[in-house]
Structure 1
Amino acid sequence: MNAANASEIEALRPFLEDRVAQLGSIAHIEKFGSGQSNPTYMLETSTGKFVLRTQPPGKLLKSAHRVDREFRVMRALAETEVPVPPVLFLADEDNPLGRMFYLMGHVEGRIFWDPALPEARHNEERAAIFDAMNATLAALHNVDVKAAGLEDYGKPGDYFARQYARWSEQYRTTETREIANMDRLIAWLGENMPPDDGQSCLVHGDFRHDNMIFATDRPDILALIDWELSTLGHPLADLSYQCMQWRLPHASAFKGLGGIERNKLGLPTEEAYVSRYAQRRGLSDIPHWNFYLAFAFFRLAAICQGVYKRALDGNASNPQKAEAYGQQVETMADLAMDLVEGA
C-alpha cells in the first residue's frame, strides 16, 4: 500500500468520525496499491480495521464508477448464501472529498493474485478453491432478486445486446489507436448475437479469483468484493468471463492459466468447471459458448482500454498497471478472433 496517496482522504477524518460511531478515532489511512477503477483505502481505527472505497477524481464515463451500486448490492446480499463484507456507510458528493464513497468492514484472509494458486498447500486445496468459486458463482446466480430488493437493479432481457452497445460505445470513446482485430471482433459479435433466451439474474461483472477473500486455513470464500460492474444480466456472462482464465496467457498482466500444466497442479479443465456449474444450476447444456467467451474477451478489452485512457489523462488509480492493461487490449482481441475463426 502507498501511504503517500492517502493524503486526500485525511480531510474525511472529522466527517467520518462524526457520522460513523463504530469507527471510533482514525489512527492511520493507507491506500491499497492494487486495483484500477475505484481508489480503495485501509483505515486503522481505535475499534478495528475498515475499508473506504471512493470514485476516482476527474471526468467519469457515463454509468461508470458507481460506488453507490456496490454499496447497495452488498447490503442486499448480506442475508444470502453469497459472502460479502459488511457495509456501513454511504456518502454522496456532499462531503469534503467531493465525490461518492462508502465504508465497509475489513475482511481478513487470503487473496490469490495468480490463478495457478502457488500459495496453496497442495493440489487438493487448489481443486477445492476452484470448486468454492464455482459454488459461489452458482449461489450468486440463484439469488432471488425480488426477495433481495434488487428487482430494479438492471433492465430485464437482451443483456448481451445492451452490453454490446454499451461497451462498443465506451471502447470508441476511449480508443487511442486502431486495433484491427478489435474492429473485427466488434463486427463479428454484432453479426452473431444469439437470440435472447430469457435468462436473467444478478451478475457480478468481474468474477475472478482476485476479487475474493479466502479463509487463511481452509478453501472457503469469506467475501466476494468489487461489485462495480454488477447488474441484472445473463448468468453466462459471469461464467464465460471467469473461463477466460483458461485461455489468457500466464505470462501477461492478467496471469491466466494459458501455457501452464494445469493437470499437474490439480486445477480443473474449462470443460469440467463449466459442467460442474451447469450441474449446480440444473442446466442441461450451454449453447453458443464460443460467442459468450468471445464477448467476455471483448468486454474486458474495452474495460482495459478505458483504464489505459484514464492513465493517459492522469486519472488512473495505479498508472503503471493501467499502462500494462492497455498493452493487453490487442492480445485479448487476438485470442477472441482465434477462438471464433477456429470454431
Structure 2
Amino acid sequence: MVEALAPVRAAHRFDETGLLRWMEQHVAGFDGPLTVEQFSGGQSNPTYRLRTSGRDYVLRRKPPGILLKGAHAVDREFRVISALHAAGFPVPQAFGLCLDESVIGTVFYVMEMVAGRNFWNTAFPEVPREERPAYLDAMNATIARLHSIDPAAIGLEDFGRPGNYFERQVGRWSRQYLEDSEAGRVPAMDALIEWLPANIPPGDETSIVHGDFRCDNMLFHPSQPRVIAVLDWELSTLGHPLADLAYHLMMYRMPPGFSTGLAGLDLPALNIPSEASYIADYCRRTGRDGIERLDFHLAFSLFRLAAIIHGIKGRMLRGTASSPQAAAAVEQLERVAELALQQTHANFGG
C-alpha cells in the first residue's frame, strides 16, 4: 500500500524555485528539474515527494502559521535519522537540513525516498494469513532493536534529558493541552492530568524512543516481512522504553477504523499474535522478566495521543492543520481520552 499523492495543498505551497536553488547547492548529486507533490498523510508536519529525472526525494517541513513552542521539530528528526542511519538502523538517509526559513517559509529537511510497502492496518489484510505473524514480529524486533541502541554510542547522548521521563512528559503534554484554549477542554483529559502524576511507577530507564511507533510509520520490504525504514521521528527523544512500547501496544487497545487498532477483532482467526505474546517477545528480545504497571504505561500513552489530537484540533480551528484527515482525527478526541481514563481502572496483573 502506498500513501496517496496529490498536488500541493493551497495552505502548504511554497517557492519551488527557491527550493530548487537550495537543492542544487546542498544535496550532493542533485539534478533538476523538480516536480513537487504532497503526501496525503502528515497530521503534523507536511510531507512532500520531490521528483527529478534521476531519483526522488522526500521533504519534511514545519507547518506554516503560529506553532506551539517545541512542536514540529523537524531539525530533531533530521538529527536522529542521520545518527541511526549511520548506525545501520532502518531509516531513510538524510541529505540536508535547512534552517533558513526564507527558502520555503519554514525549516525543512530532505531525505531519500525509500521504495517499500506501507500498511495502514495492523491486521495486515493485504498479506496472506500465514505470513502475518512474521510482519508483527518484524515490528517487534525493530522496536526492541531501537531500545537496545546506546544513545551515547551514536552521538545522541544529549538528544533528551535522562531521568524523570514520565514526570516531564506528563507535564509537557498537560501544558500544551491547557495552553491551547481554542481547542477547548475534555473532562477525561482533566481527570488524567490529576491521575497520571500521582501514579508514576518507581524506577527509571533511558533509551532512544520513537514516540509514534505504528505500522503506518514504517516501510516494509517490497516482498518480505522486514522493516526497511521507520519514518516520522518528530516525537523522538531520550525517554523510557516502556512508554514507547506502550504507545505501540495501543494497537491492541484501539478499535478498528481508528489509527491501527485491533481491539475487538478475532486475532486467532486473523493469525495475529495476542498482546500477551507480543509483549513476551519484546521482553525476550530486551532481557526483561515482564512489564509491571501496564495500566499506567497505556494510560499515559493514550493520554499523550489525545493531547496530540487536541493540538490538531487547535491547528484545524486556526486553519493550519496539515492534513485533510484532521477533522476525522479530531472527532476521536473524546473517545481516545475516555479510553485512556479506562486504563486507570483496569486490572492488568503485571
With normalisation by structure 1, the TM-score equals: 0.95
* 1:138-169 deviation line (CA, Å, top 9, x unaligned): 11001111110000000010000000000000
Q: Which amino acid aligns with 1:212?
A: M
Question: Displaced runs of 4+ in structure 1, greater than 6 A?
Answer: none
Per the TM alignment, residue 94 of structure 1 is displaced from its structure 2 partner at its CA by 4.5
> CA shift at 1:78, angstroms?
1.3
Aligned partner letter, 1:265: L
Identify the match of residue 293 of structure 2 among 271, 279, 288.
288
Partner deviation per Cα, 1:15-71 (whole Å, 9 max, x = no partner) = 222332412113311011111111111011122111111111011111111111101
Contact 1:240 1:292 in 2 (8 A): yes
1:189–1:295 CA contact under 8 A, matched in 2:
yes
SS of match in other structure, 1:82: coil
1:34 aligns with 2:41: yes
| Match of residue 201 from structure 2 | 194
| Deviation at residue 103 of structure 1 after TM alignment | 0.6
Q: 2:207 and 2:8 mapped to 1: Cα distance? A: 41
Indicate yes or no: 2:123 matched with 1:119: no
The one-letter amino acid paired with 2:72 is: H
Alignment check: 8 A CA contact 1:23 1:46 kept:
no
**Residues 211 and 235, structure 2, Cα contact 8 Å, conserved in 1:** yes
Name 1:278's counterpart in structure 2: 283
Shift of 1:124: 2.7
Is the Cα–Cα contact under 8 Å of residues 76 and 150 in structure 1 kept in the other structure?
yes
CA distance in structure 2 between the aligned counterparts of 1:286 and 1:342, rounded to whole angstroms:
15
Deviations 1:78-105 (A, max 9, x none): 1334201010011112442132111101
For 1:119, give the aligned amino acid.
Answer: E
Give the distance between the partners of 1:23 and 1:155, measured in 2 at CA.
37
Alignment of structure 1 residues 97-108 onto 2, 5 Å: 97-108=104-115
Write out per-residue CA displacement over residues 162-198 of structure 1, whole angstroms, 9 at most, x where no aligned residue: 0000000011122423322221122111221222x23
Of 78, 88, 91, the residue aligned with 1:84 is: 91
Q: Which moved more, 1:272-281 or 1:93-102?
A: 93-102
SS in 1 for 2:325: helix
Q: Separation in 1 of the partners of 2:147 and 2:137? A: 15
**Number of equivalent positions:** 339
2:305 is the counterpart of 1:300: yes
Distance 2:343 2:282 in 1: 22
Q: Confirm or deny that 1:14 pairs with 2:18.
A: no
Q: How does 1:1-343 map to 2 (within 5 A)?
A: 1-5=5-9, 7-11=13-17, 12-120=19-127, 122-175=128-181, 176-195=183-202, 197-252=203-258, 254-318=259-323, 320-343=324-347
What RMSD over aligned residues (CA atoms) do the two structures have, in Å? 1.4
CA distance in 2, matches of 1:255, 1:141: 22
TM-score w.r.t. length of structure 2: 0.93
